[in-house]
Chains A and B, each alone.
Chain A
Amino acid sequence: MGAVIQHPLNGIMNPKAASKKRKAVTRDVEEEAGVFSGDELSKGNLDGALSDNSKDLSDSEDDDSDSEVELVDDFSDSEDGEDELDSDEIPSDTEEIKPAAGEPNFRIVKDANGNDRYLWDEIHPDDNSELSEVDENANTIGDIPLKFYDEYPHIGYDINGKKIMRPAKGEALDALLDSIEIPKGWTGLTDPKTGKPLQLSQEELELLRKVQMNEVPSEGYDPYEPLVEWFTSEQEIMPLSAAPEPKRRFVPSKHEQKRVMKLVKAIREGRILPYKAPEEREDKEEELINYDLWADEVERPDHVMHIPAPKLPPPGYEESYHPPAEYLPDSKERKEWEQTDPEDREKDYLPNDFGSLRRVPGYDNFVQEKFERCLDLYLAPRVRRSKLNIDPESLLPKLPSPEELKPFPTACATVFRGHKGRVRAVNVDPTGVWLATGGDDGTVRVWELLTGRQLWSVKLSDDEAVNTVRWRPGKDAVILAATAGDDIFLSVPPIVDPEIEKASLDLLDAGWGFAASRPAPSASEEGKKSAPPTWIRPSSALVDAGVCVVIPLRYVPKTISWHRRGDYFVTVCSGASTPASVAISIHTVSKHLTQFPFRRRLKGGGPPQTAHFHPSKPILFVANQRSIRAYDLSRQLLVKILQPGARWISSFDIHPTSSSASGGDNIIIGSYDRRLLWHDLDLSQRPYKTLRYHRKAIRAVKFHPSGRYPLFADASDDGSLQIFHGSVTGDMLSNATIVPLKVLKGHKITGELGVLDIDWHPREAWAVSAGADGTCRLWM
Chain B
Amino acid sequence: MSEDLVTSAAAESALRQVRVQLISQQEDIALPESTGPILVPTGLRRYALSTLVNNLLSSEKPIPFEFLINGTFLRTSIDEYLVDNGISAETTLEIEYVRALIPPLHIASFQHDDWVSATDVLSTTSPAASWASGATFTKGQERILSGSYDGLLRIWNMSSETIATSPAAADGGHTASIRAAKFVSPNQIASAGLDRTVRLWKYTEGEGGFTGKISPQLELYGHKAGIESLAVHAKSNRLLTGSADNTVGFWSTKKADAPAAPENLLPSSNARNTKRRKLNTSVTTPQRGPLTLMSAHTAPVSAAIFDGKDATVGYSASWDHSLRTWDLVTGSLVDTRTTSYSLLSLEHLPELSLLAAGTAARHITLIDPRASATTVAAMTLRGHTNAVVSLARDPHSTYGLISGSHDGTCRIWDIRSTKTDKEGVVGESVYSITRKSLEEEGKSDSKRVGGEGVKVFSVCWDKTVGIVSAGEDKRIQINRGEGVLSSKA
Contact = CB atoms under 8 A, between A and B. Distances in A.
Interface of A: 407, 411-415, 417, 431-433, 448, 450-453, 455, 494-502, 505, 544, 746, 763-764, 766, 777-778, 780
A264 B221 CA distance: 154
A780 B244 contact: no
B360 A764 contact: yes
Given A433-B226, A452-B455, 12 more contacts: A407-B340, A411-B385, A413-B360, A431-B244, A450-B387, A450-B406, A453-B115, A455-B194, A497-B225, A499-B264, A777-B450, A778-B450
Contacts of A496: 225
Contact of A763 (B226, B265, B320): B320
Contacts of A451: 115, 406, 455, 457, 472
B272 interface: yes
B276 interface: yes
B194 A497 contact: no
Contacts, number: 93
Given A407-B340, A413-B406, A497-B225, A764 B319 contact: yes
Contact of A412 (B115, B344, B449): B449
B386 A413 contact: yes
A51 to B, nearest CB: 84
A460 B402 CA distance: 44
Nearest to A498: B270
A764 B177 CA distance: 25
A99 to B, nearest CB: 85
Contacts of A501: 270, 272-273
Interface string B217-246: 000000111100000000000000000110
6 contacts: A412-B450, A414-B455, A415-B452, A433-B225, A501-B273, A502-B271
B387 A497 contact: no
A413 B265 contact: no
B224 A500 contact: yes
A497 B195 CA distance: 8
A780 B455 CA distance: 15
A764 B342 contact: yes
Contacts of B273: 494, 498, 501
A763 B340 CA distance: 12
A723 to B, nearest CB: 15
Interface string B84-100: 00000000000000000
Interface string B387-409: 10100000000000000001000
Contacts of A763: 299, 319-320
Counting chain A CB atoms within 10 Å of each CB, the highest count among B196, B360, B389, B457 belongs to B360
Contacts of A432: 299-300, 319
A746 B449 contact: yes
Contact of A498 (B269, B341, B455, B472): B269
B149 interface: yes
Contacts of B177: 453
Contacts of B209: none
A763 B386 CA distance: 19
Interface of B: 115, 149, 177, 194, 196, 223-226, 244-245, 264-267, 269-273, 276, 299-300, 319-320, 340-342, 344, 360-362, 385-387, 389, 406, 449-450, 452, 455, 457, 472
Nearest to A495: B194
A412 B264 CA distance: 39
A497 B269 CA distance: 11
A497 B406 contact: no
A764 B344 CA distance: 13
Q: In the A-B complex, list the 4 residue pairs whose CB atoms are closest, starting with the nearest.
A: A498-B270, A497-B224, A412-B450, A415-B452
A502 B263 CA distance: 14
Contacts of A411: 362, 385-386, 450
A450 B387 CA distance: 9
Contact of B244 (A413, A433, A764): A433
B463 to A, nearest CB: 29
A499 B115 contact: no
User: Interface centre among A417, A432, A501, by most B CB within 10 Å?
Assistant: A432
A494 B271 CA distance: 13
A780 B344 CA distance: 13
A450 B361 CA distance: 13
A453 B149 contact: yes
A95 to B, nearest CB: 81
Contacts of A499: 224, 264-265
Contacts of A417: 452
Contacts of B472: 451
Contacts of A407: 340-341, 361
Nearest to B360: A780
A29 B452 CA distance: 144
A777 B451 CA distance: 12
A780 B360 CA distance: 8
A505 B406 CA distance: 35
B295 to A, nearest CB: 14
A433 B223 CA distance: 15
B244 to A, nearest CB: 5
B276 A544 contact: yes
Nearest to B114: A453
A770 B268 CA distance: 37
B181 to A, nearest CB: 16
Contacts of B115: 451, 453
A505 B273 CA distance: 12
A497 B245 contact: yes
A362 B452 CA distance: 82
Contacts of A497: 196, 223-225, 245, 265
Contacts of A780: 360-361, 387
Contacts of B276: 494, 544
B270 A415 contact: no
A412 B449 CA distance: 6
B450 A414 contact: yes
Most buried by A among B342, B449, B450, B457: B450
A208 B264 CA distance: 148
A667 B477 CA distance: 50
B481 to A, nearest CB: 28
A452 B117 CA distance: 13
A407 B196 CA distance: 31
A744 to B, nearest CB: 11
A91 B361 CA distance: 127
Nearest to B196: A497
A764 B223 CA distance: 23
Contacts of B320: 763
A202 to B, nearest CB: 73
A431 B225 CA distance: 11
A496 B225 CA distance: 6
A432 B450 CA distance: 19
Contacts of A415: 449-450, 452
Nearest to A499: B264
Given A412-B450, A450-B387, A498 B319 contact: no
Nearest to B177: A453
Contacts of A495: 194
Contacts of A778: 450
A777 B448 CA distance: 13
The listed residue with most B CB atoms (<10 A of its CB), out of A413, A433, A496, is A413
B450 A413 contact: yes
Nearest to B406: A413
B267 A498 contact: yes
Nearest to A450: B387
B340 to A, nearest CB: 7
Contacts of A777: 449-450
B448 to A, nearest CB: 9
A407 to B, nearest CB: 7
B376 to A, nearest CB: 16
A476 to B, nearest CB: 12
Nearest to B268: A498
Contacts of A766: 360
Contact of B300 (A433, A455, A494, A498): A433
